[in-house]
Amino acid sequence: MAFLELANLTKRYGAAVVVNGVNLAIDQGKLVCLLGPSGCGKTTTLRLIAGFAVPDGGEIRVGSRVISKAGAAKPPERRNMSMIFQSYALWPHMTVFENVAYGLRLRRLAEADITKQVGAILDVTKLGALAQRYPGELSGGQQQRVSLARALVVKPQILLLDEPLSNLDANLREEIRFEIRSLHDQYRYTTVYVTHDQTEAMTTADVIVVMNQGAIDQIGSPEDIYKRPLSEFVARFIGGTNIFRGANAGNDHVSADGVVLQCGSGEFGPSGETAVSIRHHDVKLSETQPDFTSNVASAMVERQIYLGSHRDYLVRLQTGATVRVVSDVAVDIPAGRQVWLYFPPEHCRALAR
């Protein structure tokens, strides 16, 4: 049975439904990413789990015990969770050591134990030398590590992270991302990680939960989400993609924008309207007409950008619709040239939603 369960969880602010009937089961020791665009309700979901917000409907259970339900919530301090905040939320009036020791002091540990455990976690997070500094005297990355250490040292049942990397520059982001993942591998706390960055989600998560407008769109492993999106939203949000919308022509074929596309996977919409997704780098570009009957279209190169490892094309179909193609650097076709596009069926995914 799942360790952390959200059942039909709902939260309203005034008339706006910010979290809308979320169902989610997380197994013990898993790192789950809540991924979605800004304002989709990720933070709110996290705050519901932490107990900072009280749900308007549904339940939250930990180990099958209810900790939150409509109108009632166990206060955050009694949930044995830890949270890492977007702003780090370090206490400026305490040293690094005191910040980290705070949770242990609340648990009334002996001072010797506190010194030992804090020392250990500071070493793990490479902060040992900075123990007596104040947060104001640390760099952004160091501050984030303090916040990690502070959250981990209390051995929480559940660890919550709210966009922990968004205030860091690109290099640090990568470094801390791997650090978080390796710390998770080391301690195996059940973790909920909120982010709007798909790379972050892909590289850290066991399971990704894609949220859209307060509801869960899709749950799955990073590969699932990337390769087998169930909705146009997920396909667009995770990795770049081209979407064709058209009528179901039967036999796994969809006709859209003057192209007939045979789809290798996916589900077709019941009404006949179906979207087809094909990733930028899956589209094949050539100056000669490929000899396939379907999944082929002629187009004109609108612009081409050289990006070192690959080239990024924008091409325009006869119908006026545009398609983005990422190709090998060897394929070098200048703008204004007539080209042929081939959409391999195995990469064409039909999306019912």
Partner 1 sequence: MSLNAETAAETAGLRRSIDLSRPIFGLLALALCVLVILPIFWLAVYSLQNDAGEWTFENFVILATDPTILRAFGLALLMALGVGILATAIAAPMAWLAARTDLPCRSGVRILVTASFVTPPFLGAIAWEILAAPNSGIINGIYRWLFGLEADAYFVNIYSFPGLIFAIACYTFPYVFTLVANALERVPSDLEDASAILGASQLTTLRKIVLPMVMPAMLAGSLIAVLQALTMFGTPAILALPAGFHVITTKIWSLFQFPPQPGLAAAAALPLLLITVILLRGQKWFLGRKGYTVIGGKSGSARITNLGVWKWPAFAFVAFILSLAVVFPYAALLKAAVTTNIGEPLSFASLTWQNFNFVFFEFDATRLAIWNTLVLGISTACIVTILVVVISYLVVRKSFPGSSILGFLATAPVAIPGIVLGVGLFLSYANPVLMLYGTLWILLIAFITIEMPAGYQQISSSLSGMHPEVEEASRILGASRLTTLRRITAPLLKTSVIAAWCFVFIGTIRELSATILLTIANTKLVSVIIYDLNESGNLGAIAVLGLTLLVVSFAVVIIAHRVPLIARG
Ligand X SMILES: Nc1ncnc2c1ncn2[C@@H]1O[C@H](COP(=O)(O)OP(=O)(O)O)[C@@H](O)[C@H]1O
Smaller CB distance to partner 1: residue 92 or 270?
Answer: 92
Judge contact between 70 and 48, C-beta under 8 A. no
Smaller CB distance to partner 1: residue 81 or 225?
Answer: 81
The residue nearest ligand X at its CB is 43
String of DSSP letters for 160-184: EEESTTTTS-HHHHHHHHHHHHHHH
CB 216 to ligand X: min, Å: 13
Residues that bind partner 1 (CB under 8 A): 50-52, 54, 64-69, 71-83, 85-87, 89-94, 102-103, 106-107, 147, 150-151, 154, 160
* Rounded CA separation 306/180 (Å): 34
CB 196 to Mg ion: min, Å: 8
CB 13 to ligand X: min, Å: 3
CB 86 to ligand X: min, Å: 9
Query: CA torsion angle for 167, 213, 235, 1 (degrees, to 10)?
Result: 90
CB 91 to partner 1: min, Å: 6
Smaller CB distance to partner 1: residue 183 or 278?
Answer: 183
Judge contact between 26 and 188, C-beta under 8 A. no
| Residue 154: contacted member of Mg ion, ligand X, partner 1, none (CB under 5 to 8 Å, by partner type) | partner 1
| Residue 172: contacted member of partner 1, Mg ion, ligand X, none (CB under 5 to 8 Å, by partner type) | none
Smaller CB distance to partner 1: residue 69 or 228?
Answer: 69
Smaller CB distance to Mg ion: residue 43 or 191?
Answer: 43
Judge contact between 177 and 170, C-beta under 8 A. no
| Residue 345: contacted member of partner 1, ligand X, Mg ion, none (CB under 5 to 8 Å, by partner type) | none
Smaller CB distance to partner 1: residue 86 or 203?
Answer: 86
Return the bridge partners of 19, or none. Answer: 11
| Residue 40: contacted member of Mg ion, partner 1, ligand X, none (CB under 5 to 8 Å, by partner type) | ligand X
| Residue 89: contacted member of ligand X, Mg ion, partner 1, none (CB under 5 to 8 Å, by partner type) | partner 1
Judge contact between 88 and 146, C-beta under 8 A. yes
* Rounded CA separation 237/241 (Å): 9
Token digits of residue 4: 């952390």
Smaller CB distance to ligand X: residue 15 or 112?
Answer: 15
Judge contact between 237 and 277, C-beta under 8 A. no
String of DSSP letters for 38-80: TTSSHHHHHHHHHTSS--SEEEEEETTEEEEETTEE--GGGS-
Residues that bind ligand X (CB under 6 A): 13, 18, 36, 38-44
The dihedrals phi and psi of 100, each to the nearest 5 degrees, come to -70, -35
| Residue 271: contacted member of ligand X, partner 1, Mg ion, none (CB under 5 to 8 Å, by partner type) | none
CB 9 to ligand X: min, Å: 12
The dihedrals phi and psi of 8, each to the nearest 5 degrees, come to 55, 35
CB 83 to partner 1: min, Å: 4
Residues that bind Mg ion (CB under 5 A): 43
| Residue 87: contacted member of ligand X, partner 1, Mg ion, none (CB under 5 to 8 Å, by partner type) | partner 1
Smaller CB distance to ligand X: residue 83 or 127?
Answer: 83
The dihedrals phi and psi of 304, each to the nearest 5 degrees, come to -140, 135
Smaller CB distance to partner 1: residue 71 or 308?
Answer: 71
| Residue 39: contacted member of Mg ion, ligand X, partner 1, none (CB under 5 to 8 Å, by partner type) | ligand X
The secondary structure of residue 25, as a DSSP letter, is E
Alpha-carbon distances, residue 254 vs 132, 229, 235, 242, 261 (angstroms):
65, 18, 17, 14, 5
